[in-house]
A and B are shown apart, each in its own frame.
Chain A
Amino acid sequence: MERLFGRLEPWLGPVLAALLAFITVGVFIQVVLRYVFALSFLWGEELSLFAFIWCVFLGTAVCSWRHTHFSFDMLSGAMPARAEGVQRLVVDLCILTVTVVMVVTGWQFSNLSVARLSPALGITLFVPTIVIPVSGVLMTLVCLIDIVRDCRQIATGERSAGTADAPPIDFTA
């Protein structure tokens, strides 16, 4: 499973890059068309927004894989390996609950959205909403890998290689 995701990541990168390029070029062309040629495309706005939502949820899955989600790292490093394993197991079980809800309820939500159409293009809202369960599945997989790793750490008392991840730098603020 670990290898599967390792193979998936190089694929996700170009997809994310392509989506962001699409959004940037899309919105830019729309602005140019509107102000230079006085043409207005509401559907351009809509498509960019859909691509943006896909970016957000797929990018989040990559953050899970890399363990770069913002968190308060008060406990890590301060505990013996076994206790740390237990703490990480609890955390990962918490995350698993969320990702499972994203898969199950997200799937129901996107099925309900099939009948709702977007205002400009008339595309079914299934298109932007389906990414929630898709991202949920990816994050559930990552979380299961982590749980296996935590259990191994609790059993053997050795820190797994994954613990030494570089602390994430938050470039938001």
Chain B
Amino acid sequence: MAIKFTIKEREDKPSISFTLNARRTLDDSVMIFDHNEIDIVLIPNKNKVVAFAKDELNEEIYEAQDRLFMFLRDKGVIDFQSVQGGNIYSSMEATILESKEFNSYDMTLLMISKFIDEERPLMEFEEAWNDEQEKELTDPNPEDSTEFDPEKYHNAKQGSIPPSGQAYGISSIYRI
């Protein structure tokens, strides 16, 4: 579900609006589902950002998690020393830095949205590549396919040599 967030950085500056595919939980955490590889969760009452893999952990997922926390570190919203593996499979977490001047929660949300924008071309490329691969397998070109002939390939009995037959005929029989 798309949620529209509006953030006011300072009183004298205009507010910033952005939309994320996210869900807010009852304890005010925000779950962001925009990324292809990872789900990002912002937990304000624990002051944490956690990234979970959408699927099995692999190199690409680890790299996506790494890119996220590097980006947040570069933007100065997380404590880089706090970046660590979470308590469950394929999770990584970091602590959000506190600020007296800005609302750290809003700033982290804004930076996550900017990270998603930065990753979008890569995600779109991956999606298109996967679609192309799937298309090649399910709907191949005439060059890569043969004509479908169920009578040839779906017979109950295939080939001329029965699989249950003896390999060497009567030569295996022992005689005195």
Q: Do A and B come from one complex?
A: no
